A and B are shown apart, each in its own frame.
Chain A
Amino acid sequence: MSFLHPWMLLGLGAAAIPIILHLIARRRPPTVIFPAVRYLVDTAREHQRRLRIRNLLLLLVRTALIVALMLAASGPSVPISGVPGHAPSALVVIVDNSVSSGAVAGGTAVGEPLRRAAAEVLSRATAEDALWLLTADGLARSGDRKTLTRVVDSLATSSMRLDLGAAIRQADAILAGEERPGEIFLITDLQRTAVSPAATQAPLVVVRPEGDVVSNVGVGSVATGTQPWQFDGGRLIVTIAGDADGPVALSVAVGGRPERQALAGPGAPVAVTVTGLTPGWWPVVVSVDPDELRADDRRVTAVRVAPVARVTWNPADLHLATAVQVLEADGRVRRGNEVTLGGLGRGLSVVFPPADPAEVGALNRALGRRGVAWRFGDPVNAAERSDSGALVGAVAVARRYRLERSTAGGTGVLATVGGDPWMVRDAGVVLLGSRLDPEWTELPLAAEFVPFVDALINRVARGEVALRQGTPGGTVLLPDRTTEVHSGERRWTVEGGAPFSPPATGLYYLVAGIDTMGVLAANVDVRESYLERAGDRAIRQLWHPARIIEPERARDVVFAAGARGDLRGPLLWLALALALVEVGLASLRKRES
C-alpha cells in the first residue's frame, strides 16, 4: 500500500481519542447512596452483556470511523490487477532505441515491437497520470498521453548508447519528487553490455523481446598509432567486434584512395599499412559486409600526415635532451629551427621557467614583446599532481610557477595542476609551469615522457591537438582555441572549451581561425556490437525487485503490476457507513435512556 499524503497518517493517533475518553471516564467514579441497588443489580445481570457488547461496538465504530477518515485523507492505494481503471500515477517509460535496437531479426527491427509496446503502455494512461518518456538521447520528455505517443511513433533507432542502469536511476530521481505512486516501465532489448546496477524505490517492470538474438559483426576499433604520420605512411590497427566465429573481410578506405581489403579474425587485431600520403588530414573508413545490425558495420577516423618538426634544444636540459635524441634516432624529429625547446626562440617555442628566479622578470618581458598573453607568476612549492588529461596523465609536480594571464582574452590551457594552468599555448609559444627536471616534476622519469615530448614538439608546439574520439550524442570538450566545427556541409560556430555533442557518426573537423587543429571521430559505442541479452536472473539480482514480461503483456501489466487501486472512495463509503452505524447505536442508547 502506498499513500499520496503519507504525513496525514499522523492523524491516525486521533483514533486513540475514544479509548482515552473512555478510560478517563472510568477513573474513580463517585459513590452515591442508592437504596434501589437491587434493581440495578437485576438490570445489570440481565442487560450487562448486551450493553457491554453495544458499548464496545460503539467504541470500535468510532475508532474505525476516525481511522477510515484519516486513511482516506492520506490517499492510500493498493496493487490491484485486472481492473480497467487505476489511481492517479506517475509513470516513466524508458524506450531503449539505442544502436542495438536497430538489429533486424526475422525481417523486423528489434526495436519495432518495443515501440509498439511503449505506445500501448501509454494508451493506458489517463489525464490524471504524470508521464515521462526517456530514450537513448538521455532527455526526459514530460507530456500527456497523446504527445508522448506521437514521440514514440516517430522514434527512430538512435546512434547513441543507452546505459540502462543510468536510465533507471534517472527515472527514479524523477519519481522521487512525485506524490503520486510511481512506476518505471523499461522497454528494452536487454543487451547485456547496456545493463548496469541500479537501485530504485519505484516498482520496475522490464519489457524485453522474445526470440533468439541475431549474430552480429562490426568494426570494433581503428587505431592510427602515433601521429602525425610521416610521408612514408603508417599503420592502422583494426579490431572486429561482435560474435564472428571466423575471419571477417573488411575494407579500409583512406581519403579517396582505392579501398584496401583485409581479413580480421575475431578478437585478433589486423594491421593495415597505408603509404604514400601527402601532408594534411586524411579521413579513414573501415567497413565490413552488411549484416543484421548496420550501424556498427562502418567506423571512421582520421590520420594527420605532416613532416617531422625541426627542433633546437639545450643539451644542459639533460632529461629533455635525452628524450629528443631518442625521437631523433627514431626519425620523429630533426635538428632545425622550427621549434625551440627550453627558451624563447624566433619561431615556435616551448618555454620552461628559468632555473634562476632572477631571470623570470626578463623572460616575462620578452613574452610580452612576443604578444604572449601568459606570464610566469609566483613560485609554488607544494606536492601536487597534474590533472589527468589527453596530453599528459596524472604526474607528480613538486615545484612550479603559477601561469598567469596578462590579458583578459588569453586562453589555450593544455594541462593544469591543482586547478591552475600548468601548460598553455598562445602566439606560437608553449609555456610549461615546471622545468622538465625531476626536482620539479617526475614527468621526465615516467614512461610517457618520450611520447609526451613527441606530442609537445610535433603537435602542441604546432598548435594541433590529438585525434579525439566520441560517440553520437556524447559530449566532448572542445580545445580552447576552437572557433568552428564542420562535418561535410554542416558547420557549427563554437567557443573554445565548450562542450560539443556530435549528432551522428562521422568526422568533425576542429578549426581555429583558418587552421584545422584537430579532428573528432564520432562512432557508435563498440559495446553496442555485442547483442547478447542479459538473463532474467541477473536482471532480478541487479534491479531487485524487477518484474520481467514480454511486450505483448505490457498493456495489461502497466498500472497493474505497479498499478494501484485508489482506496479513498471505498474508505469514505466505509466512513459513511460507520457514521450511520454510530448514529444508530447512539440514538438507540439515547432512546433507551
Chain B
Amino acid sequence: MLDHMRLDLLDPVEVSRLGGLELSTEGVVEGFLTGLHRSPKRGFSVEFAEYRMYQPGDELRYIDWKVLGRNDRLYVKQFEEETNLRAMIVLDASRSMAWTGSPDTLLTKLEYAKRLAAAIALVLLRQHDATGLITFDDEVRSVTPAKARMTHWRRLLKELNGLEPGHGTAAGPALARVVDLLRRRGLVVFISDLLLDRDAALKAFKFLRHRGHQVLVLHVMDPGEVTLEGLQEVRFEDPETREAVILRPRDWAGVYQKTVSRAVQAWRVACRSNGISYHCITSDTPFGLALREALASPSGVT
C-alpha cells in the first residue's frame, strides 16, 4: 500500500499510524523525492555556478561547447565546490515539546519533530552527506556524530526512537557542542518550539554563522499554541517553569494571536538579518510540505 501512497502529503497522524518511525519516514522521503523530481527545482549537490572566460590551464572538460558554437568564444563552466556536506540536526526534547492541544488528531511537537528530523537525515544521507544528531533539553541529552553511511540512519533512528521528553530548554550547550563536532563548514538544522532564551539562541546561531555554517531553524508549533480557544476562565500553566496565568481565552484570543504572530515575525526577521533560514511549521503540516519548505530554501540541502 505504501507504494501507491504519497506519505509525504498525508496527515502526520495518519502517517504515524502506518508504521514505525523507520517505515513511515522512508515512505515520506520516497514521496518527497518523487515529488521533487517532478519539480522544476530539481538539482544535485554539484551545482552549476557561473561562466568564466577560458584561461590557459583550465581543464578542457569544463569548456561549454554550445557557447563556443554560438559565439565562437571559449567559456568554462564553474560549479560550487563539490564536497560532501556535514550536517548536524539539533533537536529540542524539552518538556514543552511533549505537548499537543489535540491529542486525538495531532502528534505532539516532539513526535512531529522526531519524524521530521528522521526524514531530513534520510534525505541527507541519501545524498551521501554526513549527518549527525544532537538532542537536548536543559542540557545535552545525546550526541550522535555525523557519518555519511546509510547504515548510520539506523543509529539515528534508534536514538530518536528512544528519545523521551526532558525538562527545561537550554539550546546554548547543544549549539556549542555543534561547533566542536563540525570542524568544517556544514549545515545545522535546529528543530525546536523556540520556547527558550531567545537572545542566547540567536547569539549561538550567529556564532555558527560566523564559523561558516549554514543554519536552518525549524520552529515547530502546535496549532493550539497559535490560536486560543475556550469560553470559560482557565489557569494556564507552563509545564517547564510552572509559571501560570489566569484569563478567559474568549477575551484574549485576538490579542494573543497577534502576540504569537509578532513573536514569529521577530524570529524570522532576526534570523534572516543574520543569514539564517527560518521556517515556522505547525504540527498539522504534512511532512512532505515541511520538508519542501525546509530543504528547498537557499540554505537547504537539495
Please give the residue numbers on chain A whose beta carbons come within 8 Å of chain B beta carbons, in ascending order. 25-26, 29-44, 46-47, 51, 55, 589, 591-593
CB neighbours (8 Å) of B256 from chain A are 39-40, 43
B244 within 8 A of A: yes
Q: Judging by beta carbons under 8 Å apart, are B259 and A42 in contact?
A: yes
Q: Judging by beta carbons under 8 Å apart, are B252 and A31 in contact?
A: no
A37 and B232 in contact (CB under 8 A), knowing A46-B255, A47-B252? no
Of all chain B residues, which has the CB nearest A590?
A: B250
CB neighbours (8 Å) of B243 from chain A are 37-38, 41
B80 within 8 A of A: no
CB neighbours (8 Å) of A593 from chain B are 250-251, 253-254
B35 within 8 A of A: no
A39 and B237 in contact (CB under 8 A), knowing A44-B245, A44-B247, A47-B252? no
| Interface-centre pick from B222, B236, B240, B258 (highest chain A CB count, 10 A) | B236
Of all chain A residues, which has the CB nearest B249?
A: A593
Q: Judging by beta carbons under 8 Å apart, are B232 and A25 in contact?
A: yes
Q: Judging by beta carbons under 8 Å apart, are B254 and A30 in contact?
A: no
A592 and B255 in contact (CB under 8 A), knowing A33-B99, A35-B193, A39-B225? yes
Q: Judging by beta carbons under 8 Å apart, are A35 and B250 in contact?
A: no
Q: Judging by beta carbons under 8 Å apart, are A33 and B237 in contact?
A: yes
Q: List 26 A-B contacts (CB under 8 A).
A: A25-B233, A25-B248, A29-B232, A29-B234, A30-B232, A31-B234, A31-B237, A32-B234, A35-B96, A35-B97, A35-B193, A39-B225, A39-B259, A40-B236, A40-B245, A40-B247, A43-B252, A43-B256, A43-B258, A44-B245, A46-B255, A47-B255, A51-B251, A589-B250, A591-B254, A592-B253
Q: Judging by beta carbons under 8 Å apart, are A34 and B255 in contact?
A: no
- Tell me the bound Cα distance from A25 to B232 in angstroms: 7
Q: Judging by beta carbons under 8 Å apart, are B252 and A35 in contact?
A: no
A589 and B251 in contact (CB under 8 A), knowing A29-B233, A39-B259? yes
Known: A25-B232, A29-B233. 4 other contacts (CB 8 A): A35-B225, A39-B259, A39-B260, A43-B255
- Tell me the bound Cα distance from A30 to B234 in angstroms: 5
| 7 tightest Cβ-Cβ pairs between the two chains A and B | A592-B254, A35-B96, A37-B238, A34-B236, A593-B253, A36-B225, A29-B233
CB neighbours (8 Å) of A592 from chain B are 253-255
CB neighbours (8 Å) of A30 from chain B are 232, 234-235
- Residue of A25, A35, A39 near B240 (CB, 8 A) is A35
A149 smallest CB distance to B (angstroms) = 64
Q: Judging by beta carbons under 8 Å apart, are A26 and B233 in contact?
A: yes
Q: Judging by beta carbons under 8 Å apart, are B237 and A32 in contact?
A: yes
CB neighbours (8 Å) of A55 from chain B are 251
| Interface-centre pick from B99, B259, B260 (highest chain A CB count, 10 A) | B259
B263 within 8 A of A: yes
CB neighbours (8 Å) of B228 from chain A are 40
- Tell me the bound Cα distance from A32 to B251 in angstroms: 17
B60 within 8 A of A: no
Q: Judging by beta carbons under 8 Å apart, are B238 and A43 in contact?
A: no
Task: Encode contact with A along B195-211: 1 for CB under 8 Å, 0 otherwise.
Answer: 10000000000000000
Of all chain A residues, which has the CB nearest B250?
A: A593
B166 within 8 A of A: no
B246 within 8 A of A: yes
CB neighbours (8 Å) of B260 from chain A are 36, 39
- Tell me the bound Cα distance from A588 to B235 in angstroms: 24
- Tell me the bound Cα distance from A38 to B263 in angstroms: 10
Q: Judging by beta carbons under 8 Å apart, are A38 and B195 in contact?
A: yes
A37 and B244 in contact (CB under 8 A), knowing A32-B236, A43-B252, A592-B253? yes
Of all chain B residues, which has the CB nearest A591?
A: B254
CB neighbours (8 Å) of B258 from chain A are 43
